[in-house]
Structure 1
Amino acid sequence: MKRVATAAAATVLSLAALTPAALADAPESHVPSPGSPGLGDPLFPTLGNGGYDVRHYDLTFDYTPVAKTFTGKVEIRAKATQALSSFNLDFDRHTVDSITVNGRPATWSHDGGELVVTPAEPLRHGRPFDVTVAYHGVGTGPYAGLSGWNFGSDGGFASAAQASRADTFLPVNDHPSGKATWTFRVSAPPGYVATGNGVLTGTSEKDGRTVWTFEAREPMASELLGIAVVKGVYREGRGPRGLPLRHVIPAGQEEKYGPIADLTGEQVAWAEKRFGRFPFSTYGIHVYDGYKAALENQTLSLFGTNWFNRPDGTTKYTTTMIHELVHQWFGDSVTPKTWQDAWLNEGPAVYYAAVWGEEQGWDRLDDKMRTVYGKLDAVRAKDGPPGRPKGLGGYNIYDGGALVLYALRLELGDDPLFDRVMRTWVQRNEDGNASTEDFVAHTAKITKRAGIDAFLRSWLYDEKNPPMPRRPDWSAP
C-alpha cells in the first residue's frame, strides 16, 4: 500500500503541471504516470519494472570480508519508454543513502523488494536519463526473498543471482529481458581478489584496497551477475583464435585446480565447432568452496569445489563444465524473453553435455534419452511440459528440454540440418532475447520441413510425450 500511495501522489503532482488542453492532446505514453512494478513474467510476475529500458550499469562495490558488510553505488543509464512520474527498481532490503536522477536529488520509498523512485520532475517519454543510487548493507540480509550471496570459508563471497536474486546486490531491473552492458569496480582488501563479468581492464589502489575494474561489453541479463571477493588467484590462458581465458581458483590449491581450469580451452574449441565463434570477449571458470552447485555466470562460470572431488577418480566433472560453457551461447548470449522459455537455456546445456559424455565413452546418449522419455510423462502432468513449465529448476526444463532437441534431431534425420538449426539460432539471436515460439519459427524457416512447427509444439506443449521418431519401441511406463 505504501508503494501505491507514493506513486499516486507523484502522478497527481506531475499531472497538475500540465494544462487540461495539453493532457487532452498528449498521447497516453506522454502523460506522466508511474512505471509498473513488474513485467508480468508468466513465472515471476513482479520481476523487472516497466516504463524504462536500462542501457548500462556502472557498479562500485566495496566488501569487507568476515564482517560481510559492504557499500555500493550504482550509476544507471536508461531511456524512458513512457513519461514517468515515478519508476521502480528491484532492490531487496539494503539501506539506501541517496538517490539522484539526472543529477538532482530524488525521493524514494522502499517496500520489500521494490524501490520506488520519484524524480524531482517527471521524465519525458523517449528521453535518456541517469540514476545514481548509493547504498550499504550486510550480505546476510535479512531479505524479503531468496539471497544471491554465497559465503566461503575464507570470509569472502561469490554471487549466484539466478533467477531473481540480483536485487540482493544492487538496485536493478531484474528480468532477463532487460539486458544491458555493465562496468564493475569491485574492491578487495590485501589477501583477497575481486571478480566481475567481462574483461579485466585494470586495477588501482584506494584506501589500502585494490579496486578491480571489469567491462562486460556485450549485453548481459542481471541474473548472470558474477561478482566476488575471495582468497583466490588468477590463472590466465588462451583459447581458440586467441580468446583470453581467465580463471579464479582457490589460493594455495593451484596444483589441484589449475589443470582443471586449463581444460577450458579445448572445451571452447569443441563447442565452437558446433555453434560458431564464442560470443563474448573472454571466458573462464571460478572455483569456490562457498558454492555447492554450478552456474553459468556470463563469461565466468561458477563451480563449487565439490564438483571436482569425484571418488571414482574420473574426469566426468567435465560434463558439468561443458553444460555451463554451452550456456554461454544458450541462455547468456541468447537469453529467454520470459522465464517460461527457460528450456531454451537448459535443454541445449543438458543435451550437449550428454553428447560430450558419449564422446568420452562414459554414457550413451540414446540410453540417457530413453530414460528421460520414460519419466517425462509423469513430470509433464505434475510440473508442466518443457515449453510451459509451472516453475524453474525442474526435470521438465532440463532433461525434458534435452529430449525435445533429441526428438528434433531424429525427426530431421540429418545431423548437419539439426546442427544448422542450432548454430544459426545462436548466431541470429546473439546478444538478444528469444522465445519458444521464436525457436519454432526459426526451425521451420531453416529446415523448410512441412509440419515441423506442429511437431515441435507437440513436444513442447502437450500433456504427454508424442511418439519418439525412429524409436517405435519406446514408451512411457
Structure 2
Amino acid sequence: MRHRLIVPSAAAAFLLLAVPASAADATPGAPGAGDSYYPTSGNGGYDVSHYDLRLKYQPKTDVLEGTATLTATTTQALSRFNLDFGLKVSEVLVNGRPTPFATSGEHELEITPASPLEKGKQITVVVRYSGVPSEVKIGGYSAWQRTPDGAVVANEPESAAWWFPSNDHPRDKATYDVSVSVPDGFQTVSNGELKSQTSKLGWTRYNWRSTKPQAPYLTTLAIGKFDITTDKTADGLPVLNAYSKDLGDNLDSAKASVERSTEVIDWETKVFGPYPFNAIGGYVPNVKTGYALETQTRPYYSPSQFANGANVSVVVHELAHQWFGDSVSVKDWRDIWVNEGFATYAQWLWSEKEKEGTAQELADYVYSSIPADNAFWKVKPSDPGADNQFHSAVYNRGAVALQALRNKVGDKTFFAILKQWTAENKYGNASVQDFVKFAEKASGKPLQKLFDTWLFTPAKPSAAEAAKDGIGKTAATARTGRSLKAAEPRSWKKIQEAQRGHQH
C-alpha cells in the first residue's frame, strides 16, 4: 500500500528555504565563449586558474595518456558545464567525486555534477583520457603534427583540444604545470621553466612550469630528439632553445636566428616595457608546415622560416607577441590586430634600428606599392573576418596605422603609449577599440578618424587622407622636398617571409 507524505505548509516552506538559491537557479554553462568568429571555442560558467597536466606519450604509436587537473571558480550556478576536448575520456571527477559526462559535437565534453555547483565556488575537475591525437579532426584539421621522431602541437586559434581539456579561449588564462613522460632518449619542450627531469624504468619525465597567466592556444608541447642550448639573461631569466637534430641545411640558419632571442628581448624590453614572463626561448622542430607561432615564453618556428638563411625578423615578430598577444590578448578573435599589427610594427622598428629601412619608409612602401583595386585594401584590420584573420592587411596595413599614430602624436608620446598599454593591460584582454580609446586618452588627441582611415574602412585611403597622416609618396615629398619612388626597403623581403609563415 502506498502512503502519501503530507508535509505541513510551514515545514514545506522551511525545506524550500533550505535549498541554496544558487542551486535552485542553476543552469548549464554556455558551450561557447561567445566569440564572433569561433562561437564554439571556450565555454561559459567558470574561470580556470590552473592546469596540472600529467602525461605519458609513446612516439612509436602516437598514443597519449593523460590526467588533467583543473582548478576553477564558478561564475554562475551550474547544473552542467563543458570543456573543449577531442580525445577519449575514461573518467571525470568533480571535487573528488566521480561525475557523469558525455560528448557532443567535435570537441565538447559535457560534465554534469550530481549536485548543482554554487556561483563563486572553487572547484577541482580531474579528467583521465587517452587517444591518438593526430587522428582527431576538429574543424577538418589536426593541430597535432607527427614528426620523424615524435610530435608537436602548436596552432592558432585552437590547439589545446588535441591534448588536454580546457576552456579554450584567450579570455580564460591560467597557470600551468606540464609533466610529460617519454621513453628514455626522447626529450620534451614546453612553456616556461624546466623544473626537473627524472628517469625510471625506461621512461624520463620532464616537468615544465608556467607561472604567469597563459591562454590555452599558447600552450605548446614537442616530443622528439633535440639539440638544446641554455643560458640566463642579465636579469637571471632562464633561456632555453631547442632544435630538432634532423633539420639538415636549415639548422645553422635557425640557430643564427633563434640564438639571438635574448638580444631581441633586451631590445624589445626597452621599447615595450618589462618582459612579462618567467622564461625565454624558442624551438625549431622538424615539421613540414611553414608558420611560426608566439607560444608563450617559447615560440615555435618552422624550419622553412630559415630556408633562405638567418631570419631574425621572425624572431622579433614572435617575441614581440609576448607583450602583444600573450600578455595583452584579444577579447575576441576579431581583435587580432592587437596581436599582429604590433608584432609587425616591431619588425619595422627592428629594421629601423638595423638601418635596413625605417618604419616610415616601410609604411610609405606599403601604401604606395599596393594598388587601390587590390584585395589588400578590402580587408579591415579592425574586423577582417574569420577567413581573413591572418591576411597580410591585418599585419601590414595594421602596422601602417601605428606609423600614422606615431606621426600624429610624436615619438615621445607614441613610445610612451606602447609601454603604458602593455603595463596597464598586463595579463589581460583588449579590443581594437580599447586601444583607440587608450591612445586618445594618453595623447590627449582625437584619433578615431585616423584609426577609421587605416583600420575600419574597407578601401585604400586617398592620397590626401594618407598625406594628412604622414603616409605615402605625397607625404614623403612634403617631408623631404623631393619626389620619391616607392623604393623597397632592404628588410621588406625578410619581413614578408616571416609574415607569410605566420599566416596559417
Fold in common (TM above 0.5):
yes
Kindly state the Cα deviation for residue 39 of structure 1 after the two structures are TM-superposed: 1.5
Q: What 5-or-longer segments of structure 2 have no aligned partner?
A: 1-11, 476-504
Equivalent residue for 2:284, pick from 284, 287, 309: 287
Kindly state the Cα deviation for residue 277 of structure 1 after the two structures are TM-superposed: 1.5
- Which residue does the alignment assign to 2:7? none
Q: 1:260 to 1:397 in 2, by over 3 A?
A: closer
Question: Structure 1-normalised TM-score?
Answer: 0.88
Q: 1:295 to 1:80 in 2, by over 3 A?
A: same
Residue identity opposite 1:70 in structure 2: L
1:460 and 2:458 aligned: no
1:270 and 2:264 aligned: no
- Which residue does the alignment assign to 1:410? 407
Matches for 1:247-258 after TM superposition, within 5 Å: 247-251=241-245, 257-258=254-255
Does structure 2 conserve the Cα–Cα contact (< 8 Å) formed by 1:425 and 1:442?
yes
Kindly state the Cα deviation for residue 393 of structure 1 after the two structures are TM-superposed: 1.1
Q: 1:447 to 1:250 in 2, by over 3 A?
A: same
Does structure 2 conserve the Cα–Cα contact (< 8 Å) formed by 1:186 and 1:195?
no
Equivalent residue for 2:102, pick from 109, 120, 128: 109
Equivalent residue for 2:70, pick from 67, 76, 95: 76
- Which residue does the alignment assign to 1:3? none
- Which residue does the alignment assign to 1:443? 439
Equivalent residue for 1:148, pick from 137, 143, 149: 143
Larger Rg: 2
Q: Secondary structure at the match of 2:135?
A: coil
- Which residue does the alignment assign to 2:219? 225
User: How many corresponding residue pairs?
Assistant: 450
Matches for 1:356-435 after TM superposition, within 5 Å: 356-374=350-368, 375=370, 378-379=374-375, 382-383=378-379, 385-391=380-386, 392-412=389-409, 414-435=410-431
Q: What 5-or-longer segments of structure 1 have no aligned partner?
A: 1-16
Kindly state the Cα deviation for residue 18 of structure 1 after the two structures are TM-superposed: 11
1:31 and 2:28 aligned: no
Kindly state the Cα deviation for residue 108 of structure 1 after the two structures are TM-superposed: 1.0
Provide the C-alpha distance between the structure 1 equivalents of 2:67 and 2:371, rounded to a whole number of angstroms. 46
Does structure 2 conserve the Cα–Cα contact (< 8 Å) formed by 1:239 and 1:266?
no
Question: Structure 2-normalised TM-score?
Answer: 0.84
Kindly state the Cα deviation for residue 25 of structure 1 after the two structures are TM-superposed: 9.6
Provide the C-alpha distance between the structure 2 equivalents of 1:255 and 1:85, rounded to a whole number of angstroms. 55
Residue identity opposite 1:269 in structure 2: D
Matches for 1:348-363 after TM superposition, within 5 Å: 348-363=342-357
Provide the C-alpha distance between the structure 1 equivalents of 2:383 and 2:274, rounded to a whole number of angstroms. 31
- Which residue does the alignment assign to 1:128? 122
Q: Could you report, residue by residue, the CA deviation over 1:62-89 in whole angstroms, capped at 9, with x for unpaired residues?
A: 1111321111111010111111111011
Provide the C-alpha distance between the structure 2 equivalents of 1:437 and 1:285, rounded to a whole number of angstroms. 32
> Greater shift after overlay, 34-43 or 205-214?
205-214
Does structure 2 conserve the Cα–Cα contact (< 8 Å) formed by 1:74 and 1:134?
yes
Q: Could you report, residue by residue, the CA deviation over 1:210-253 in whole angstroms, capped at 9, with x for unpaired residues?
A: 11111110000011011111111321012242322111112377
Q: Could you report, residue by residue, the CA deviation over 1:373-432 in whole angstroms, capped at 9, with x for unpaired residues?
A: 35486446644x1111212211232112112111111122x1121101111111111111
> Greater shift after overlay, 63-72 or 320-329?
63-72
Residue identity opposite 2:395 in structure 1: Y
Q: Secondary structure at the match of 1:358?
A: helix
Does structure 1 conserve the Cα–Cα contact (< 8 Å) formed by 2:376 and 2:392?
no
Residue identity opposite 1:292 in structure 2: G
> Greater shift after overlay, 76-85 or 145-154?
145-154
1:344 and 2:326 aligned: no
Q: Secondary structure at the match of 2:134?
A: coil
Provide the C-alpha distance between the structure 2 equivalents of 1:462 and 1:151, rounded to a whole number of angstroms. 41
Does structure 1 conserve the Cα–Cα contact (< 8 Å) formed by 2:155 and 2:293?
no
Provide the C-alpha distance between the structure 2 equivalents of 1:376 and 1:34, rounded to a whole number of angstroms. 51
Provide the C-alpha distance between the structure 2 equivalents of 1:32 and 1:48, rounded to a whole number of angstroms. 20
